[in-house]
Amino acid sequence: MKELLLKYGCNPNQTPAYLNMKDGRDLPFEILNGNPGYINFLDAFNSWQLVRELKKALGMPAAASFKHVSPAGAAVGVALSDVMKKKLFVENIPDINGSPLACAYARARGADRMSSFGDFIALSDVCDITTAKVIKPEVSDGVIAPGYDPDALELLKTKKGGKYCIIKIDPMYEAPEYETKEVFGVSFTQRRNDVVLDASALTNTVTVNKELPESAKRDLIVAMITLKYTQSNSVCYAVDGQAIGVGAGQQSRIHCTRLAGDKADNWLLREHDKVLALPFKEGIARPDRDNCIDCYISDHAEDVLREGEWQRFFTEKPPELTKEEKREFLKTRTGLALASDAFFPFSDNITRACRSGVKYIVQAGGSKRDGDVIAECDRLGVTMIMNGIRLFHH
């Protein structure tokens, strides 16, 4: 297929819209089900590159959950504990640890479930039946992968009344060295961002603390590759082989750090005993659970705990999760990794990151205030690497 006509572009008034290859070659994918749209394909192609690079860098199956051309979550296939299974709503899939790919998507989806609502999924490996079982109950627009086991494909085809978008990408396809896009009738051409992000990008440690365990290297690589496909400015918190807080598209670096840090805190607090014990009624849909949990953890708990409201979701009124309890719980969660897609201009980013348990940081460096940033890391015992690599993505 050399050209694919789309229903419309970003918005219904933007017609015609289509995909093709500038050199006249066949498109490097097949549509196995559904009718993906313009934005679906933008998410699919960005997310596929992300998971392909994670797999290459770490040698582990990888998955991503994309929304509006930025990842809500990304992860590699680290096995799940019983607590993690409950936290990620996959405790009903007892064999999930037998599929690292399924673990990767459960982690990617669970990083920011509010943002992942209606996501586009990318899988680095052939989708197996266990991964399809993880995907099946989630509200999602579609998936891209290099292939699908027959039983997995049949299960996925039942989503959205048979209209679920399923794309098979050619895993051997390589994009041209240069890429072009058009804005306001003007063509922009640049070399593709082919920088390799692996352990070789983690050698220039500039802080007094030089500690960098293998788990932290893995998490920093996950965070860097995630940022490579996140709309700038962006910051990513990661732990246990997964991104747990992505701050994307903010004009100020500190706002990226705060946004991503708040998401990371929310993800960590989902393991609090009070959250895991929330007495949901039978039949409460996952999106409603996600909304309730988000309100319960955040500063909007009254939205679900007030009289006349909690009865809709819970068998009994849950106890309040106080600010003091949240602070004390988060103090027990340390060892997080943080990556930034460009230098930190002020040390306030470090101060905020450490409130969410960050111990390992990688950033480009090159700010006039690098000395202030390093000093704050030294004060807080953080290991920081300056790799000289900027990862802006627009």
Q: What is the CATH number of the domain that holds 146?
A: 3.40.140.20
- Catalytic residue selected from 55, 67, 228, 272: 67
Residue 189 inside a domain? The answer is: no
Specify whether the CB–CB gap between 301 and 317 falls below 8 A: no
From the candidates 33, 46, 233, 349, which is the catalytic residue?
233
Whole-number pLDDT of residue 328 = 95
184 found inside a domain: no
User: Considering the domain boundaries, does residue 214 fall inside one?
Assistant: yes
pLDDT of 243 reads 98
285 by DSSP, 3-state: which? coil
Please count the other Cβ atoms lying within 10 Å of the Cβ belonging to residue 292. 24
Residue 84, SS3 per DSSP = helix
Per-10-residue mean pLDDT for the chain, 394 residues long? 93 95 91 97 98 98 96 97 95 95 98 95 98 97 98 98 97 95 94 96 97 98 98 96 96 96 96 96 94 92 89 94 95 96 96 97 96 98 97 95
Same structural domain, 291 and 339 = no
Catalytic residue among 20, 56, 68, 393: 68
Residues 157 and 136 in one domain: yes
Is 121:143 a contact under the CB 8 Å cutoff?
yes
Single out the catalytic residue among 22, 323, 368, 394: 394
* Amino acid 24: pLDDT: 85
Q: Assign residue 89 a region: left if phi > 0, alpha if psi is -120 to 50, beta otherwise? A: left
What's the token pair of residue 111? 């990083």
Please give the sequence-ordered ranges of beta strands (E in DSSP) within the chain, or none if there are none.
3-6, 17-20, 29-33, 62-67, 70-76, 119-123, 140-145, 165-169, 178-183, 186-191, 234-239, 242-248, 336-340, 358-363, 383-386
Looking at the structure, tell me whether residues 215 and 361 fall in a common domain: yes
Residue 340 and residue 220 in contact, taking contact as beta carbons nearer than 8 Å: no
The pLDDT, as a whole number, for residue 300 is 87
Residues 38 and 126 in one domain: yes
Q: Look up the domain containing 217 and give its range.
A: 196-269+331-386
CA distance 301 to 275: 12
My answer on whether 159 and 299 are in the same domain is no
Closest CA to 145 of 52, 221, 235: 52
Q: Of the candidates 336, 350, 339, 354, which has an alpha carbon nearest to the alpha carbon of residue 386?
A: 339
Q: What is the pLDDT of residue 1?
A: 86
Helices (H), 136-285: 150-156, 214-228, 253-269, 273-276
d(CA 18, CA 341): 31
pLDDT of res. 299? 84
Residue 133 has φ and ψ, to the nearest 5°, of -65, -35
Written as six digits, the tokens of 289 are 């659970």
Give the amino acid at 239: V
The Cα 134–Cα 132 span in angstroms is 5
Do 301 and 347 lie in a common domain?
Answer: no
Our answer to whether residue 233 is catalytic in this structure is yes
Classify residue 160 by its DSSP letter. G
The reported pLDDT for the residue numbered 143 is 98
Same structural domain, 161 and 217: no
Q: Does 68 participate in catalysis according to the annotation?
A: yes
Please name every residue paired with 238 in a beta bridge, in sequence order, or none if there are none.
Answer: 243, 337
Domains of the chain: total: 3
Q: Are residues 51 and 23 in the same domain?
A: yes
* Alpha-carbon torsion, ordered 111, 113, 118, 120, to 10 deg: 10
Instruction: Give me the pLDDT at residue 114, please.
Output: 92
Q: Is 255 a catalytic residue?
A: no
| One domain, residues 233 and 361 | yes
